[in-house]
Structure 1
Amino acid sequence: MTTTTTPRATPPVHKGTGPPAGARTATRRRRRAVALLYVLPALLPYTLFAVLPALHTAYLSLFDWDGVTLPTFVGFDNYRRVATDPQLRAAAWHAGALIVFFSVLPISLGLVSAALVARRSGRRGTSLIRTLLFLPQVIPLVAVAIIWRWVYAEDGTLNQALRAIGLGHLTDSWLGSFTWSLPAVGLIGTWVVAGLCMVLFLSGTQRIDQEIYEAARMDGAGPVREFWSVTVPLLRPEIAVALSITVIAALSSFDLIYITTGGGPGNSTVVPGILIYRLAFGGGAVGLASALAVVLTAVIAVAVVVINRLSREAP
């Protein structure tokens, strides 16, 4: 006797069994509102003390104002002066030169020191070396400037050391020299920032798989080849972060130069930050100073965007 099995009917599948679209939209809105409430305590002070003053500065840049009398609307004339004034262009060139000392040299030294410290990992004295290299970053910048003024003085440590080794003819008034004042200040920035770059790169080396180094050694790569073929390419994200931080420090530098040289001798170390201070509080040109501040902010923002874009697109 043959038994016939009747196939079961497949129950119909009802589409859209989840909540309706309106409910999902309402849920998303509630989540965004809750997230905004968490961000609000930080967003309010930032808006009050950063965003609104920046917008007010952009507004003042459209006026000719001495800070006391009624302002006169001049439109974009202040921006035209920023682009054509020789003194303003010289300040921009000085800031560009500081990028070499605040960015190129510290990043180069940071890469080399991070590679050397990483190879010494676990050995005695490694923590002390790392602490000493990072120490300048912890010291307040005003204290750093005062210390280096003593070092660069005519009877300071640097000139005394040169005389002690028989190079007294090379002594100079470093911060008072039209030729050497800007490089002297720039080297202070190198000394301060190099430790930060080293710590950034050292943290990056810890995420690199050691098997990559072992494979490179099996292929006959030495320490230098490992550095250029493995360490530097794999530290590209950290290099982008360090480059962004140091470029901002170079273009917006003020306190270090104000304490050491004040922009002198003459205008040999004047940078946009010093010039903004002089124009706003000493020259009675608040509108022009505001325009220069807006241009400087825009240049820094563009530089950071370009650095991040190139770091993402690099092979």
Structure 2
Amino acid sequence: MSIALAERGSAIPQAPSPAAPGRRRRGARLVPQWFLLPALALYAIVVLYPSVAGGWYAFTDWKGGAEANWIGLDNFRELMADQAAVASLRNTLTIAVTLTVAQSGLGLLLALALNSAIRARNLLRTLFFAPMMMPPVIVGLLWQYIYTPDGPLDTAMGALGMDGLIQSWLGNSQLALWAIIASVIWHHVGMSMVIFLAGLQGIPDELYESAALDGASTLQRFWFVTRPLLGQATTIATALTMTSSLKLFDQVFVMTGGGPGVSTQTLSLIMYREAFVYGEYGYGSAIALVLTMIVAFIVFLQMSVTRRGETEA
């Protein structure tokens, strides 16, 4: 009898054991990653695949059709032998260096001036930042109108008795590039100003007070207190300016179209023309790859120098 009861009791179903705590924790950690999948898929389709495909097409003679023959480095040899492309590279580097120095320097001066307790500083900050809200094409059209003969600039110079200095600003091959650079500085200097303002407001006032008690002048306080502590802001401002100026297209396309001659032509502009006007997609991809490598190298070099300076400081 006892044996039968024991057998009957052993047939009673047991409650399922709870999942192992380690398994539950792993499942909880995987949940955020599942939510990232749509964004990663979109990034792969919109950014990653076109980038990889563009890099591959740079070594082909693809003209937009189904056929793309591998030609190795022929596109890059053609690029180095093209005098217009060499001039475009020179113009691109001139724009990048000039804008990085001038825009960052002017942005720092504006930030220093507007970080002090002056009247209407919030209004002035808004006015200097406002051009950043305008699309580049609109900025190009605006400055093209300013530079037109008998336009606002010529009229103002005539009213000030400076008629002898009036030029064909966009028609002179010696001045057109600098006229475009001036319009870009006006458009983007507000961004540099805001970055430096954020850096200045993160510096404790106690450091300036201690330096003043030690007898440091205004210039010494800037050099020994402000300048080192603005290292991160300087890196961000110059890196953003450098990358955007190396890819400059809109203002050049709208204001001069690359002329007169090739005096304002940039790598971005010839890349656009070769690919989308002449249908030389392989050659255009080669230009894009060269431009990408230049941007990556300059930004890497800039970051390395800045990081080394911060380490030594």
Classify the TM-score, shorter chain: 0.7 to 0.9
Counterpart pick for 1:100 among 97, 101, 105: 97
CA deviations 1:168-188 (Å, max 9, x no partner) are 111111111100000000111
C-alpha displacement of 1:244: 1.0
Which residue of the partner structure matches residue 134 of structure 1?
A: 129
Counterpart pick for 1:75 among 64, 72, 77: 72
Which residue of the partner structure matches residue 280 of structure 2?
A: 285
State how far apart, in whole Å, the 1-side matches of 2:80 and 2:26 are.
46
Counterpart pick for 1:118 among 115, 124, 135: 115
Q: Is the 8 A contact 2:58 2:286 kept in 1?
A: yes
Which residue of the partner structure matches residue 18 of structure 1?
A: none
Q: What TM-score results when the alignment is normalised by the length of structure 1? A: 0.86
Which amino acid in structure 1 is aligned with residue 123 of structure 2?
A: L
Which amino acid in structure 2 is aligned with residue 296 of structure 1?
A: L
C-alpha displacement of 1:278: 0.9
Q: Is the 8 A contact 2:97 2:242 kept in 1?
A: no
Counterpart pick for 1:91 among 88, 91, 103: 88
State how far apart, in whole Å, the 2-side matches of 1:28 and 1:157 are.
68
CA deviations 1:159-212 (Å, max 9, x no partner) are 111111111111111111100000000111111121100101101111101111
Which amino acid in structure 2 is aligned with residue 213 of structure 1?
A: Y
Helix, strand or coil: the match of 1:198?
helix
C-alpha displacement of 1:226: 2.2
Q: Is the 8 A contact 1:102 1:193 kept in 2?
A: no
Structure 1: state its 5+ residue gaps: 1-22
State how far apart, in whole Å, the 2-side matches of 1:63 and 1:138 are.
40
CA distance 1:27–1:244, shift in 2 (3 Å): farther
Structure 2: state its 5+ residue gaps: 1-20
* RMSD of equivalent CA atoms: 2.0
Q: Is the 8 A contact 1:101 1:189 kept in 2?
A: no
77-86 or 242-251: which moved more? 77-86
CA deviations 1:85-126 (Å, max 9, x no partner) are 222121111111112342111110111111111122xx4301
State how far apart, in whole Å, the 1-side matches of 2:28 and 2:92 are.
45
CA deviations 1:258-298 (Å, max 9, x no partner) are 11111111111110110001111223321111011011112
State how far apart, in whole Å, the 2-side matches of 1:130 and 1:68 are.
51
Aligned pair count? 291
State how far apart, in whole Å, the 1-side matches of 2:101 and 2:289 are.
25
Which residue of the partner structure matches residue 147 of structure 1?
A: 142
Q: Percent sequence identity over matched residues?
A: 35
Helix, strand or coil: the match of 1:263?
coil
Q: Is the 8 A contact 1:252 1:273 kept in 2?
A: yes
Residue 38, structure 1, aligned to residue 40, structure 2 = no
Which amino acid in structure 2 is aligned with residue 129 of structure 1?
A: L
Helix, strand or coil: the match of 1:119?
coil
CA distance 1:230–1:266, shift in 2 (3 Å): same
State how far apart, in whole Å, the 1-side matches of 2:150 and 2:84 are.
32
CA distance 1:28–1:297, shift in 2 (3 Å): farther
C-alpha displacement of 1:132: 0.6
Which residue of the partner structure matches residue 11 of structure 2?
A: none
Helix, strand or coil: the match of 1:63?
coil
> What does residue range 1-315 of structure 1 map to in structure 2 within 5 Å?
30=27, 33-68=30-65, 70-120=67-117, 123-314=118-309, 315=313
Q: What TM-score results when the alignment is normalised by the length of structure 2? A: 0.87
C-alpha displacement of 1:219: 2.4
C-alpha displacement of 1:36: 2.4
CA deviations 1:63-90 (Å, max 9, x no partner) are 1133247333211211222333222121
CA distance 1:252–1:31, shift in 2 (3 Å): farther
CA distance 1:110–1:27, shift in 2 (3 Å): farther
CA deviations 1:26-55 (Å, max 9, x no partner) are 788656633422332322222111111111
